[in-house]
Amino acid sequence: MQFEFIKIEKQVVKGVSLIQLNRPKELNALCLELMEELVHAFKLLDQDEETRCIVLTGNERAFAAGADIKQMAGRTAIDMLKIDQFSKWDSIKKTKTPVIAAVSGFALGGGCELAMLCDMIVASESAQFGQPEIKIGVMPGAGGTQRLTRAVGKALAMEMVLTGKFITAREAWNAGLINRVVPVEIYLQEALKLATQVASMSPIASQLAKESVLKAFDSPLEEGLQFERKNFYMLFATEDQKEGMAAFVEKRNPDFKGK
Ligand code: CAA
């Protein structure tokens, strides 16, 4: 498939593939076509055995400034229901491979929601996060009221959603929304470094660990604990578990094969 609104680079560093949003003039506004390409790219990379971690980025000025307002402006509620643009997000959510967002500049509305859909966020000092939908007469529709609230708590989430205020990368880090804030010159490099670390682990263990952490968001504690336990036991069916534990005993680095 040819991509028009995104770029993909497989194995940008060992075990890591990169997806770059590529509508710079529109600040990477997430039009339907871009989202379709993104769904396809995530599926492709999730099936690629060499890809053990995915980095999603935009450019220095914008990660993404939200859903495409111009594309949505004239739609009716029935159009919105029929198009159901956010169903694309459900598909991206199913990506088993760990995903790291490398964010610089604007991460607004759907852009902030897309970053929050990723498993970790590395941000440049110039990054700004916000849910400004209220200023255009609507509200977040792709997780902004839910994932943001779970990440930063009610007080800050409510203020951001009700006033549309942006927060800086430093504020986002203090609030627990993101993993790292680094100078703009190295934000992508840092994200790739973190991705390389993730990619060096057993990919089966990483996938089950990711699935288990995410389970904590939508299940009661006891159910989550049972889920975690079963995943832990299941990993004893892998060669990587034997290799990882043997390497520890033999005082050497493990060589995980993803089997
Ligand atoms: N949709 C469509 N086009 C967008 C866009 C968006 N979300 N954000 C920016 N653009 C376009 C602008 O229209 C402009 O295009 P033209 O040059 O053709 O006029 C171009 O990108 C550059 O933007 P600005 O000239 O506005 O740049 P700026 O530096 O002055 O301002 C900004 C930057 C503060 C991010 C401003 O563009 C802005 O407020 N954008 C909209 C942010 C927003 O409201 N996002 C939420 C969208 S709704 C949503 O996301 C719903 C959801 O839950 C998924």
Domain that holds residue 246: 203-250
pLDDT of 259 strictly over 90? yes
Tell me which of 62, 67, 199, 209 is the catalytic residue. Answer: 67
Q: What is the CA radius of gyration of the chain?
A: 19
Q: State the pLDDT at residue 1.
A: 72
CATH number at residue 244: 1.10.12.10
Per-residue pLDDT, averaged over 40-49, amounts to 97
Q: Which two tokens stand for residue 144?
A: 């902004």
Average pLDDT over residues 72-79: 97
Strand partners, 99: 54
Q: Is the CB of 113 under 6 A from ligand 1?
A: yes
pLDDT digits (tens, 9 = 90+) for 128-139: 999 999 999 999
Which amino acid is located at 23 in the chain?
R
Residue 108 CA: nearest ligand 1 atom is 45
- Could you tell me if 138 and 210 lie in one domain? no
Q: How many domains does the chain have?
A: 2
Let me know whether 33 and 152 are in one domain.
Answer: yes
Confidence bin at 257 (pLDDT 50/70/90): very high
Would you tell me the crossing angle of helices 239-249 and 203-215 to the nearest 10 degrees?
100
Determine if ligand 1 sits within 6 Å of the CB of residue 134: no
